[in-house]
Structure 1
Amino acid sequence: MPSLKEIKNRIASVNSTRKITSAMKMVASSKLHHAQQLIENMLPYEEMLEHILKTFLASEAHAQSKYDEERPVVRRVALVVYASNSSLCGGFNANILKMMQQVIDGYQHLGKENIVIYPIGRKVAEKVAKLGLQSGGDFTALADKPNVPQCISLAKELGKKFVDHEIDRVEMVYHHFKSAGSQILTHKTFLPIDITEELKRDHERDLTSTVATLQSQEYLRKRGERKTEHKEENVKPLNDNFIVEPDMETVLNQLIPKMLHLMLYTALLDSNASEHAARMVAMQTATDNADELLRELNLQYNKSRQQAITSELLDIVGGSVNN
């Protein structure tokens, strides 16, 4: 059995660890709230662009674009993979790297020289270097500080290479943020773009809370449904009477690249929010485990202390009887 001093030292050590995990949890919660605000600010633009594209596609059944050209033979593939720059976020990075490896294995017949990885985050960049794959650039800063201009630049680069037949297919691997307690690992095609499929994607998000427990999520979901039912009575339909100049094809060729920029930026915001949510949950779990360990150590300390006192009392009583 460990001595009282050893137990006391371990209690102090666990207490120090608990303070760190608790502080990291609060920092992650604050960053998650900021990431949720970024997504919320982006949603009106996304919804309006989606509405315009849906209206145009409904009126132009045979709309064609250079970005939706299906290649019968795929010779070269690019993967845009989103992870984080730091650890301590549970299985967030491990799950992304595992799915990336599965996608790479699916294109193994092309050879490593025909698979290009665009790593968003240091963890992906390190894995790409370890596997000896070709990297599309350094995007480490983008993982911590999402910005639109760099996403536009990347989307233009990928779009140009696709149009010039330098790349036949572009795919994305990231976490879709649904709520603080739910992040869905997502693998989808970026190019060639299927607008109709893209417009049907899951838009459900909970941007109102940073609480990750199942009970609170269920309560917030039901409350959100009641608010939606109440608001639907006063909803006004959007104006669909668009005047298109010079023609539908030209306008679509302008809007579809904007959709590509938005896809990259949305995935980046999703990944960023998912990282902070995963870290918050991981640190909360670590704090709870530390609390449980402290309870056990305090109980063990009190038992050992009581046993030492009892032994001393028995020695004193035994000595008095002998005298």
Structure 2
Amino acid sequence: MPSLKEIKGRIASVNSTRKITSAMKMVASSKLHHAQVAIQNMLPYETLLEHILKSFLAAEAGAQTIYDQERPVKRVALVVFSSNSSLCGGFNANVIRIMLHAVQELSDAIGPENVDIYPVGRKVAEKAQKMGFNVKGDYCELVDKPNVKQCIDLAMELGRRFADGEVDRVELIYHHFKSAGSQILTHKTFLPIDVESELERDHERDLSSTVITKKAQDYLKRNRRKRDVREDEVKPLNDNFIVEPDMTTVLTKLLPKLAHLMIYTALLDSVASEHAARMVAMQTATDNADELLRQLNLQYNKSRQQAITSELLDIVGGSVNN
């Protein structure tokens, strides 16, 4: 059995660790709030762009652009989003696992030399380099400071390579942020763009809460007001729906903007998911520290009481002998 001094030292050590995990949880909560605000600021632009695109789809336009045409796949680019730091649970491990699985499938089909990796985050960049993959560019700073311009540059680079025939398909791997307690790992096609499926994707996000305990999540689900989300039906203005100069030209301008939005949205979702995952991990670590402290304090009190009882027995036994 450990001595009282050893138990007391361990209690002090656990207390110090608990202070660190609790502080990290508060920092992650603050960063999550800022990430949620960034997503909210992006939503009006997303809503208006989708409304415009739905208007053209409702017009039953048969125009096609180079960005939505399928072709035989000979080379693929993967854009993978992770974090720059650790201590966020299985966030990075899950992204890396999906990336390795996707690379393996593509390597079996078209060869490993025909798979390019665009890592957004230091963890996935280090893993890709360690595995010897074709790593293109360094976008780690985007994770710490999400930037619209750099996302547009990345989307334009991917669009240029796709238009020039250097790559035949571009895929995204990232976490879709649904709430502080739920992040969905997503693997989808970026280019060629399927406009209809992209407009019908899951838009649900809880951007109002940073509560992550199971009890609190259950309470929010029971008492949350039901939102009447009613999408306006978009119809042509009349039978003679006129587009100037022509439908193909307009879609050629709109689809790159949708591509820019997809990259930026994936980045914001990934950043918010990282902070939420870190907050959950630090909350779990703090709860485990509390439980360990309770057990150590109980063990300390029992050992202390046993030592006192032993000393009393020695004193009583000595007085009887005398």
Q: Is the shorter-chain TM-score for this pair beyond 0.5, marking a shared fold?
A: yes
Aligned amino acid, residue 98 of structure 2? M
Call closer, same or farther: CA 1:301–1:219 in 2, change over 3 Å: closer
Distance in 1, Cα, partners of 2:170 & 2:233: 35
Is 1:61–2:90 an aligned residue pair?
A: no
DSSP-derived class of the 2:68 partner? coil
Distance in 2, Cα, partners of 1:145 & 1:214: 30
- Which residue of the partner structure matches residue 25 of structure 1? 25
CA contact (8 A) 2:79 2:171 kept: yes
- Which residue of the partner structure matches residue 80 of structure 1? 79
- Which residue of the partner structure matches residue 176 of structure 1? 176
- Which residue of the partner structure matches residue 147 of structure 1? 147
- Structure 2 counterparts to residues 275-290 of structure 1, below 5 A: 275-290=274-289
- Which residue of the partner structure matches residue 195 of structure 1? 195
Distance in 1, Cα, partners of 2:94 & 2:16: 30
CA contact (8 A) 2:212 2:280 kept: yes
**CA shift at 1:240, angstroms?**
6.8
Is 1:10–2:29 an aligned residue pair?
A: no
Please tell me the root mean square deviation across aligned C-alpha atoms, in Å: 1.8
- What is the total number of aligned residue pairs between the two structures? 318
CA deviation vs aligned residue, 1:30-55 (integer Å, no higher than 9, x gap):
00000000001101110110111011
- Which residue of the partner structure matches residue 106 of structure 2? 107
DSSP-derived class of the 1:107 partner? helix
* Gapped regions of structure 2 (runs ≥ 5): none
**CA shift at 1:246, angstroms?**
1.8
CA contact (8 A) 2:107 2:114 kept: no
Call closer, same or farther: CA 1:215–1:14 in 2, change over 3 Å: closer
**CA shift at 1:183, angstroms?**
0.1
Distance in 1, Cα, partners of 2:18 & 2:242: 61
Call closer, same or farther: CA 1:49–1:236 in 2, change over 3 Å: closer
Aligned amino acid, residue 9 of structure 2? N
**CA shift at 1:250, angstroms?**
1.2
* Percent identity of equivalent pairs: 72
Aligned amino acid, residue 280 of structure 1? M
Distance in 2, Cα, partners of 1:217 & 1:63: 46
CA contact (8 A) 1:143 1:268 kept: yes
CA contact (8 A) 1:83 1:271 kept: yes
Aligned amino acid, residue 100 of structure 1? M
CA deviation vs aligned residue, 1:48-91 (integer Å, no higher than 9, x gap):
1011101111203312111011012x111100000000000000
Distance in 1, Cα, partners of 2:282 & 2:104: 33
- Which residue of the partner structure matches residue 304 of structure 2? 305
- Which residue of the partner structure matches residue 217 of structure 1? 217
**CA shift at 1:214, angstroms?**
3.5
- Which residue of the partner structure matches residue 94 of structure 1? 93
* Gapped regions of structure 1 (runs ≥ 5): none
Distance in 2, Cα, partners of 1:191 & 1:293: 50
Deviant stretches of 4+, over 6 Å: 235-240
Distance in 2, Cα, partners of 1:94 & 1:245: 49
CA contact (8 A) 1:57 1:63 kept: no
CA deviation vs aligned residue, 1:172-197 (integer Å, no higher than 9, x gap):
10000000000000000001110011
